[in-house]
Amino acid sequence: MRTDLFDFELPPSSIALRPASPRDSARMLVVQGNRLEDRAVSDLPALLRAGDQLVVNDTKVIAAQLHGRRIGRETEPKIDATLIKRLDGSRWQALVKPAKKLVRGDRIRFGNEGRVCLLGNLDAEVEHKGDDGEVTLSFSFHGAVLDQAISDVGSPPLPPYIAGKRAADDRDVTDYQTMFASEEGAVAAPTAGLHFTPALERALRERGIGLQRLTLHVGAGTFLPVKADDTAGHRMHSEWGTLSEATAAALNDARAKGGRIVAVGTTSLRLLESAAREDGSIAPFEGETAIFITPGYRFRAVEVLMTNFHLPRSTLFMLVSAFSGLETMKRAYAHAIDEGYRFYSYGDACLLFRANS
Phi/psi at 41 (5° precision): -60, -35
Calpha distance 193→268 (Å, rounded): 10
Question: If phi over 0 gives left and psi between -120 and 50 gives alpha, with beta otherwise, what is residue 211?
Answer: beta
Measured from the Cβ of residue 306, the count of other Cβ atoms closer than 10 Å reads 28
So what's the pLDDT on residue 223? 63
133 pLDDT band, cuts 50/70/90, is: confident
What is the pLDDT at residue 131? 78
List, for residues 217-231, the tens digit of each pLDDT value: 998 766 667 888 999
Per the CB < 8 A criterion, the answer to whether 308 and 192 are in contact is: yes
- What integer pLDDT is reported at residue 116 of this predicted model? 45
Given this model, what pLDDT does residue 167 score?
82
Classify burial at 17, counting beta carbons within 10 Å of its beta carbon; exposed 0-12, middle 13-18, buried 19 or more: middle
From CA 308, how far away is CA 345, in angstroms rounded?
7
* pTM > 0.75: yes or no: yes
Domains and CATH numbers, the chain: 3-61+173-353 (3.40.1780.10), 65-154 (2.40.10.240)
Provide mean pLDDT across the span 302-315: 96
pLDDT tens, residue by residue, 266-300: 999 999 999 999 999 999 999 999 999 999 999 99
> pLDDT higher for 92 or 169?
92
